[in-house]
């Protein structure tokens, strides 16, 4: 799917949530396909509001059942950085977050991951977030997430984001291209 189409679909979701963005934010919206070239399955639309030496705030827009693959935010020793701590706050729709602290018997995402990629999803404790709910992920913690059937918008509040250092379970993933 073309990036312009993904961008427009993301804006439709933002409008549904009554979240206003500027023309500049629309133009700079990042369309991440993680190098897998299947953006409707593995993808994420991002608006970065701020990313300084101390804090980061982003809007994560996910199309229906769109998956952000399993990854972690490791320490960066050369920067004396312990890894990104992030809080996800659901603003619209439903998002299913997966972390390593146990497992869920029948997770929402189980049948939505293509068979050839299932081995790269290893954490299965499901946390369902609906509007107004939030969850904080400690640094260097494996996690991944998927939007519900209508899509989702998640505000991310975190320490500084260094996306280029993220470590993905799937070795084929390229986060920053």
Q: Which residue has the tokens 């490791």?
A: 74
pLDDT mean across residues, the chain: 96
Residue at token pair 């133009």:
27
Reply yes or no on domain 3-168 having CATH 3.90.660.10.
Answer: no
**Per-residue pLDDT for 175 more than 80?**
no
CA dihedral 147, 107, 85, 72 (to 10 degrees): -100
Alpha helix (H) residue ranges in the chain: 3-16, 23-27
Q: How far apart (Å, rounded) are the C-alpha atoms in residues 15 and 110?
A: 29
Beta-bridge partners for 129: 95
86, 73 Cβ separation under 8 angstroms: yes
To the question of pTM greater than 0.85 for the whole model, the response is yes
Q: What is the pLDDT of residues 52-76, one digit of tens each?
A: 999 999 999 999 999 999 999 999 9
Inform me whether the pLDDT recorded for 128 exceeds 90: yes
DSSP string, 72-92: E---BGGGTB----EEEEEEE
Stretch 20-31: mean pLDDT, rounded? 96
**DSSP conformation letters of 100-126:** SSSB-SS-TTTTTS-GGGGGG---BEE
CA-to-CA distance for 72 and 59, rounded, in angstroms?
19
- Using the predicted structure, report yes or no on whether residue 87 has a pLDDT greater than 90: yes
pLDDT at 129 over 60: yes
| Angle CA 177–96–14, to nearest 5 | 65
154 pairs with which residues across the strands? 60, 90
CA–CA gap between residue 90 and residue 131 (Å, rounded): 5
Give counts: helices (H), strands (E), the chain. 2, 9
Task: Look at residue 1 and tell me whether its pLDDT is greater than 80.
Answer: no
């Amino acid at each position: 799917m073309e990036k312009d189409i993904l961008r427009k679909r993301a804006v439709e979701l933002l409008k549904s949530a009554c979240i206003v963005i500027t023309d500049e934010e629309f133009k700079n919206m990042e369309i991440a396909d993680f190098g897998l070239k299947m953006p409707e399955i593995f993808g994420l639309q991002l608006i970065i509001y701020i990313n300084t030496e101390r804090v980061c705030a982003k809007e994560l827009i996910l199309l229906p059942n769109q998956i952000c693959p399993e990854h972690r935010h490791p320490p960066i020793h050369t920067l004396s950085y312990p890894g990104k701590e992030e809080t996800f706050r659901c603003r619209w729709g439903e998002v299913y977050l997966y972390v390593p602290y146990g497992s869920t018997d029948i997770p929402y995402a189980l049948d939505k991951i293509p068979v050839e990629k299932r081995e790269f999803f290893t954490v299965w404790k499901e946390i369902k977030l609906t509007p107004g709910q939030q969850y904080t992920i400690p640094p260097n913690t494996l996690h991944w997430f998927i939007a519900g059937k209508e899509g989702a918008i998640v505000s991310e509040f975190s320490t500084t984001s260094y996306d280029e250092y993220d470590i993905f379970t799937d070795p084929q993933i390229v986060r920053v291209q």
